[in-house]
Structure 1
Amino acid sequence: MEKALTYSFTTASEREGTNAEKYTLREELFGTQDVLPVWVADMDIDTPQCVLDAVKKRLQHPVMGYEEVPKSAFMAQIEWMKKEHDIDFNLEDMLYSHSVVASMHTCIEAFTKEGEGVIVQTPVYPPFFHSILKLNRKLVKNSLKLDSEGKYSFDIEDFKAKINENTKLLLLCSPHNPVGRVWRKEELEEILAICLEHNIVVFADEIHSDLVYKPNKHIAFASLSQKAKEITVTALGVGKTFNMAGFAMSSVAIQNKELKEQFKKAYDRVHFAQGSSLSHVAFETAYKEGKEWLEALKSHLYNNYLLLEAVAKKYPQFIKITPIEATYLAWIDCRSMGLKDKKLRAFFINEAKLGLNPGISFGREGSGFMRLNFAVSSAKMTEIVQRLESALQRRQIG
């Protein structure tokens, strides 16, 4: 294993000219190639060398046929979850999935019927509500509360008020994308009590659980109690943690046997299969050998966040950075700029030369906000900050 001191995020491999989504879609999304793309949630940071070396070793065997996910891969994840997040999964709880969104679709199909209600807590990652609507379920919006300090919390009274006999499922984003919250145990316990009372299944998207900044600590929803285990479907993976989205491998953990059987009926209709042999190797290696790399990465990411925060503090009349507890996605409050959402997006494209996610795409509660991915090298972060500050400075003068 490499020593932590050898990890450097000063620069990263260039992704322009590759088939990287954030670069190939610039013209389509922003109408120009002249933006730095800081939208889609993957990193402009090299995937850990230990993962790449393991894949190279596997390629020495010349056959790339069908393979089952090895038990050792799931065991590596189970051991990681126990050590890092104090939750006990068993091998029989685990299922392969190529993505969390696919797992979410399957969960909606498994536990709801057309017309039944699925709760989301907005603003939230757009596939949460897109999945519900595509499957002809009823979208039930329980908007998060935003206080004067820019911190979000659950609106428990609204949550209770939105539930009726046709409400069957909660899609919980934990840690939350895009607002960066790490939900506290007592907050999750309030949600749990209500879901237990109304027989609501919880799909816990915990894909960002490893990207949490101290002193915050991720609490796995299923770890709250034995009763929590009975109603929870947990989505996990290495894609965000180790910048491995291109391996298309995640997992689903379901501890209740009956719940798993019900999920499997929908799962088997889709035919998820078992993924690729290279993904299996990459997945297992990341969990076994990636800890030191991850700790160095989180320190680097938080430093990047502080650079953004410093710009916001220089121009408080224009922007505020939502206090971050997890993820590498800055949720920027631009409401003080007084721009409609289309003009706000245009400001970032044309003035700052940055391609961000418009907050309105996360639900109407995101109006006036923008999401910026700061998982980049130090060199690229310097450029991002310079572009943003120059644009704000011109606006201040002009």
Structure 2
Amino acid sequence: MIVNFDQVIDRNEYPALKLNKPLLAEHFGNDKALPFWVADMDFRAPDVVIDSLRKRVEHGIFGYEYKNDSYFNALNRWYKNRHQWSIDQDHIEFCPGVLNAVSILINQHSDTGDGVIIQPPVFFEFRMVIRSNNRKIIKNPLKLVNGKYQMDFEDLEEKAANPKTKIMIICNPHNPVGRVWTRAELAQAGEICRQHNVLVISDEIHGDIVYKPHHYTPFASISDELAQISATCLSPAKTFNIAGMIDAMTVIANVQHRERFHDFAHRYQINKTNVFASAAIEAAYSQGGEWLDELLTYLHANINFLQSYFHNNLPQIKLIEPEGTFLVWLDFKELGLDAKALEKFLTQKAQLALNSGYWFGREGAGYARMNIACPQSVLQEAVSRLTNAVHNYL
């Protein structure tokens, strides 16, 4: 199999969120900015997924369905073969998306005013979900040590020990800094939470996008004890570029926790089967491995291209090398601009729509997140714009 990831596909034919001009104007003040801000890919889904959807459409009947044994077998084989994790089918609960699951879990396992730990700079939607549930954000900021982010376990111990702290959200791989937490790091964080009766919600939506020699460790696979105090949120959305299918799952080993989640999902009817999502996911998990391997090679080449370009042409811009995800965390601090000035420079002078670092918490000031899941020619255009802006306006 040889996939042409260099192909530039015009996404204007359909209403792609990243190209929404009113949103570009609202968030970036420039509806013509080249977009790198939404975490989906500019690549076609695997042919096996497209063929499966085509076959499903040709059947012509789109009535109610359930997820059958072949679906679960494909899911279980994927996680066992690629991630050495055997998932008990009975532990899986379904919902439309990972953030739906996070919101439900926060609501069920904490009360108004209780604390939820996050590790900024981190995915900004976590803060929104915590606030919308009237919980308190508890920050356990990551530490940047020799160009690599690390967990601050001493601070985590202090925050988790507060009896009002009920939940910790772990992002693995981490969005936006790209860390793929090691088994030892996850075990240490998990043990702190276990000792203080803090539920761990592990968002692992980027788990398949990991670069060698790093290895994704599902949190619940570490031990039965940690599986019992956690809920793992999964979706193939990022892996196969099918986020618009709107389907996700949560693995909950604890019987009482799982029954509560199931009752909520059933009460609000959010665990139904989407016929197209099921067809796409089963095909992807059954036959998408080779495509993913080629994707990872291409994404890593994009990372190497950016690193080399910045080193040779814009040494004042640093790329924090990602261990996983198709998102890169760029350090612009040497440009000497404050957060708002940097945002204005990127959007108005460089004509680029990147996620400003402060979106991910004040710890992200001076940084920006860039999606590199696009043809390399698009990245070349982006760095050309950036170079011209640096030389002409700074």
Q: TM-score, normalised by structure 1?
A: 0.95
Question: Could you tell me which residue of structure 2 aligns to residue 352 of structure 1?
Answer: 350
Please state if 1:109 is matched with 2:107. yes
| Other structure's SS at 1:235 match | strand
Report the Cα distance in structure 1 between the residues aligned to 2:151 and 2:271, rounded to whole angstroms: 37
Query: Is structure 2 residue 285 aligned with structure 1 residue 287?
Result: yes
> What's 1:151 paired with?
148
Within a 5 Å distance, the mapping from 1:1-398 to structure 2 comes to 4=1, 6-24=2-20, 25-147=23-145, 149-163=146-160, 164-314=162-312, 318-395=316-393
Q: Name the CA distance, whole Å, in 1 between partners of 2:182 and 2:391.
A: 38
Structure 1 counterpart of 2:382, one-letter code: I
Contact in 1 for aligned 2:302/2:376 (Cα 8 Å): yes
Please list the CA deviations of residues 75-108 of structure 1 after superposition, one character each: whole Å capped at 9, or x if unmatched.
Answer: 2112111111111111111122211111110111
Q: Larger deviation: 383-392 or 339-348?
A: 383-392
- 1:148-171 CA-to-partner distances (Å, cap 9, x unmatched) read x22100000111111211211111
The whole-number CA distance in structure 2 between the counterparts of 1:270 and 1:95 is 14
Shift of residue 209, structure 1, vs aligned partner: 0.6
| 1:96-128 Cα distance to aligned partner (Å, 9 max, x none) | 221111111011112111111111111110111
SS at match of 1:241: helix
Q: CA RMSD in A?
A: 1.5
Q: CA deviation at 1:363?
A: 0.6
* CA distance in structure 2 between the partners assigned to 1:81 and 1:379 by the alignment: 33
Instruction: Give the TM-score taking structure 2 as reference length.
Output: 0.96
| Contact in 2 for aligned 1:69/1:274 (Cα 8 Å) | no
How far the C-alpha of 1:317 sits from its partner, in A, is 5.3
> Which amino acid in the other structure matches residue 256 of structure 1?
N
Which whole-Å CA distance do the structure 2 matches of 1:83 and 1:179 have between them?
27
Q: Secondary structure of the residue that 1:169 maps to in structure 2? A: strand
C-alpha distance in structure 2 between counterparts of 1:141 and 1:309, whole Å:
30
Contact persistence 1:41–1:329 (CA under 8 A): yes
Shift of residue 315, structure 1, vs aligned partner:
5.1
Report deviation, 1:135: 0.4
Counterpart residue type for residue 9 of structure 1: F
Give the Cα separation in 1 of the matches to 2:232 and 2:75.
Answer: 13
Instruction: Give yes or no for contact 2:96–2:271 (8 Å, CA) kept in 1.
Output: no
Partner SS for 1:330:
strand
Unaligned runs of 5+ in 2: none
Q: State the alpha-carbon separation in 2 of the partners of residues 132 and 122 from structure 1.
A: 14
SS of 1:139 mapped into structure 2: strand
SS at 1:152 equivalent: strand
Unpaired stretches in structure 1, ≥5 consecutive residues? none
